Structure 1
Amino acid sequence: MKTTIAVLGAGSWGSVLASVLVQNGHQVRLWTRHPQQAAELNNQHTNQHYMGDYQYPPQLQTLTNLAAVLKNAEVVLFTVPTPAIRSVAEQVVPILHAQKACPLIVHASKGLEQQTHLRISEILTATIPAPYRQEIVALSGPSHAEEVARKDITLITAASTSLAAAQQVQRLFMNNYFRVYTNTDLIGVELGAAFKNVIALGAGALHGLGYGDDAKAALMTRGLAEISRLGVALGAQPLTFIGLSGVGDLIVTCTSIHSRNWRAGNQLGQGKKLTAVIKDMGMVIEGIKTCQSAYELARAQNIDMPITEAIYHVLYEQADIKQEITALMQREGKSESY
């Protein structure tokens, strides 16, 4: 059944998800703040800054007018970076009020809000009053826009406290190359999506330093243990972290050159300064800010997260990466179950 969908955010992931939805037969309007980007997408059907020469379906409409994008939308998909979620949601509310609309809210962003440490669904719940929205669904899992664009096989999770809402999103996105599973552990799915970016920074740094596969496997395995410990302490279900939004997302983010967090860590391992890495990337590196949130949450919950702490020391205290690795290796012996 054809559904009218508003996609907010025309970066790589938002624009490619919009493309998938158009290919699935839905009416999709994509929102960007930038008139030149909108003109390019509408006229050349490309998004060069994010996706090179990838050709978008001509049926995809890209607009800078948020009210026009939201008009009659049955589903609103947020794909803007985490720091922008609250401000964009605040702009959406009066428009939904004026249009007397109550859409299903979906997000495909990954991270936590700085200072508040709120998950994205919590930000949206706090910002968009209940009369102007239905349930909130998180779309997450091992997925790179570049591979979805070329119709590579991709499996992700639609998570919501409402199974019916998750199933609705599942139906919107499913096709012969994009498979969606449902999950009712919204907390675990969102936390796994956020925290894996921190470990990916470490995985990239190991590569940049010249370490091999043994070291990378160790980092990912023990990193997953850290993510799980903190996630469960914050209310997540343990099994979620061995699913698509846990170990699946961790694997792809820690091993792929498409991962901005991996690429950032790789440059840090090669000796670049953090300020230069951020400038060169030209896109948001979610793991940097998420690392601070994870570090603060772990301390508040009294959860042992030595890898996260080491990455925090490098990012925020200018610690030497090699010295942090040595310190990790020289820690007192422990049981693997902890």
Structure 2
Amino acid sequence: MPSSPTPKSKVLVLGAGNFGSCLADHLGDSDHEVYIWSRHASFVQHFNTHHRNPNYLKDHVFSSNIHAVGPDIPDTGRIQQMDVLLFAIPTQGLRETLTKLRPSLVGENLPLLIFVNKGIETDTQALTLEIIADTCGGDVARVATFISGPSFATEIVRRQPTSVSVASLTESQAQKASQIFHQPWFRCYTGGDPIGLELAGALKNVYAIAAGMADGLGYENNTRASLITRGLGEMTRIGTAYGASPLTFLGLAGVGDLFLTCSSPTSRNYTVGYRLGKGEALEDIINTLGSVAEGVTTAKGVKKMIDEMDVSAPIANGIYQALYEGKDVKTGVQELMCRPPSRELDLPRKTGEQAKRLLKKLGIEPIG
């Protein structure tokens, strides 16, 4: 395997799920010294003995450059030894973890902070950027870096060619993250719109549920293509109303990830929708899924967000109704199709108030 393009780094991956594990393996195979934290002592023992994850990617033998740590949260001494902290924790648990780590995230030698979770905090509608600001302060949030894009874990560990977006409000940090991850099998593109990247990564999970529903109902290619395209339109409208760049939704974190998650049974969110379309109850699906489908919880946050911003998002509304109001899936599809004709492409006139509030919290004075 080719060597990493940057000097060897010490990386702590927080979260031993599907995606955190595959990225830990990628970085370990790129000659970095990697530690993966789990809150479960049984995982730590099993991984260090067998170099396998007992819960995810079970057939894969992980790089010998990776060592598991836990179950206690890493202390300040270990954190300060790290060059990179990679957060692969579900969004709903991120605030608690960052609060515990806050005493360790001080001083001039702050590790490079990379976040790969995709979602919106249900109770607050907060993006990860805001959760970081609330728990660790605006200075930390301004240098946080986010990675998103079409990237199934099972393909990353098989070194299938993959490309992602890397965004930060601090360009130098995005470049550092890109250099650490970049390999011939893993290409990185940098950008300066973490708000748009976060929204795209969260919203696409909701539309993947819609695509799965359509397939579960027996609809075919015309329907899926329509859902992906109209879903992209809604994502762009919501993101622009929030204050993100509409161009971000045309990139890897937007249309790229949307296409992937809406088109493959490998997607957990697609699977939830497919099983709903087949008539299964949501509670039964969640209890037997085996992993987190963030689109289910994100749909709650999106519903509150689009109501607050008064944005037209009929597909997202329909998914919320199917998940939480008991609406029949087939009836919901029929109602969407029976809506009056409308303009295909439009953007909201009032934009950016949410982003302005968030940037002020980070100590950045918005332009305009």
1:52 to 47, 58, 61: 58
Match of 2:93 in 1: 84
Deviation of 1:129 (Å):
3.4
Checking the alignment, whether the CA contact within 8 Å between 2:31 and 2:65 is kept in structure 1 is no
- 2-structure distance, mates of 1:132, 1:236: 20
Stretch of structure 1 that moved more, 60-69 or 208-217: 60-69
Match of 1:145 in 2: 153
RMSD (CA atoms): 1.5
Query: What secondary structure does 2:60 align onto?
Result: coil
1:300 to 301, 308, 332: 308
- 1-structure distance, mates of 2:294, 2:172: 30
Checking the alignment, whether the CA contact within 8 Å between 2:167 and 2:193 is kept in structure 1 is yes
Say yes or no: does 1:118 pair with 2:135.
no
Checking the alignment, whether the CA contact within 8 Å between 1:100 and 1:132 is kept in structure 2 is no
Query: What secondary structure does 2:318 align onto?
Result: helix
Query: What secondary structure does 1:197 align onto?
Result: helix
1:287 to 286, 292, 295: 295
Say yes or no: does 1:164 pair with 2:177.
no
CA 1:129–1:304 in 2, change beyond 3 Å: closer, same or farther?
A: closer
Query: What secondary structure does 1:303 align onto?
Result: coil
Q: How does 1:166-181 map to 2 (within 5 A)?
A: 166-181=174-189
1:197 to 201, 205, 220: 205
Which residue identity lines up with residue 310 of structure 1 in the other structure?
G
CA 1:236–1:132 in 2, change beyond 3 Å: closer, same or farther?
A: closer
Checking the alignment, whether the CA contact within 8 Å between 1:38 and 1:63 is kept in structure 2 is yes
Stretch of structure 1 that moved more, 110-119 or 87-96: 87-96
TM-score by length of 1: 0.96
Match of 1:245 in 2: 253
- 2-structure distance, mates of 1:96, 1:305: 39
Checking the alignment, whether the CA contact within 8 Å between 1:105 and 1:133 is kept in structure 2 is no
1:70 to 79, 84, 87: 79
**Offset from partner CA, 1:62-110 (integer Å, 9 cap, x none):** 100412652411211110111111011111112345x985222110000
Deviation of 1:337 (Å):
1.6
Deviation of 1:207 (Å):
0.9
Query: What secondary structure does 1:49 align onto?
Result: coil
Deviation of 1:58 (Å):
1.6
Checking the alignment, whether the CA contact within 8 Å between 1:86 and 1:124 is kept in structure 2 is yes
Say yes or no: does 1:28 pair with 2:34.
yes
Match of 2:114 in 1: 106
Which residue identity lines up with residue 81 of structure 2 in the other structure?
N
Checking the alignment, whether the CA contact within 8 Å between 2:211 and 2:270 is kept in structure 1 is yes
Deviation of 1:131 (Å):
6.8
Deviation of 1:295 (Å):
1.3
Pairs aligned (count):
337
Identical-pair percentage: 37
Deviation of 1:273 (Å):
0.2
Unaligned runs of 5+ in 2: 1-6, 347-368
- 2-structure distance, mates of 1:146, 1:315: 28
Checking the alignment, whether the CA contact within 8 Å between 1:29 and 1:69 is kept in structure 2 is no
Deviation of 1:125 (Å):
2.1
1:320 to 328, 340, 343: 328
Checking the alignment, whether the CA contact within 8 Å between 2:132 and 2:140 is kept in structure 1 is no
Match of 1:224 in 2: 232
Which residue identity lines up with residue 219 of structure 2 in the other structure?
Y
CA 1:232–1:134 in 2, change beyond 3 Å: closer, same or farther?
A: closer
Deviation of 1:275 (Å):
0.3
2:277 to 254, 269, 277: 269
Query: What secondary structure does 1:50 align onto?
Result: coil
Match of 2:359 in 1: none
Which residue identity lines up with residue 30 of structure 1 in the other structure?
I
Checking the alignment, whether the CA contact within 8 Å between 1:93 and 1:132 is kept in structure 2 is no
- 1-structure distance, mates of 2:191, 2:253: 10
- 1-structure distance, mates of 2:17, 2:156: 14
- 1-structure distance, mates of 2:192, 2:224: 31
Which residue identity lines up with residue 42 of structure 2 in the other structure?
Q
TM-score by length of 2: 0.89
- 2-structure distance, mates of 1:320, 1:132: 44
- 2-structure distance, mates of 1:286, 1:72: 32
Unaligned runs of 5+ in 1: none
Query: What secondary structure does 1:48 align onto?
Result: coil
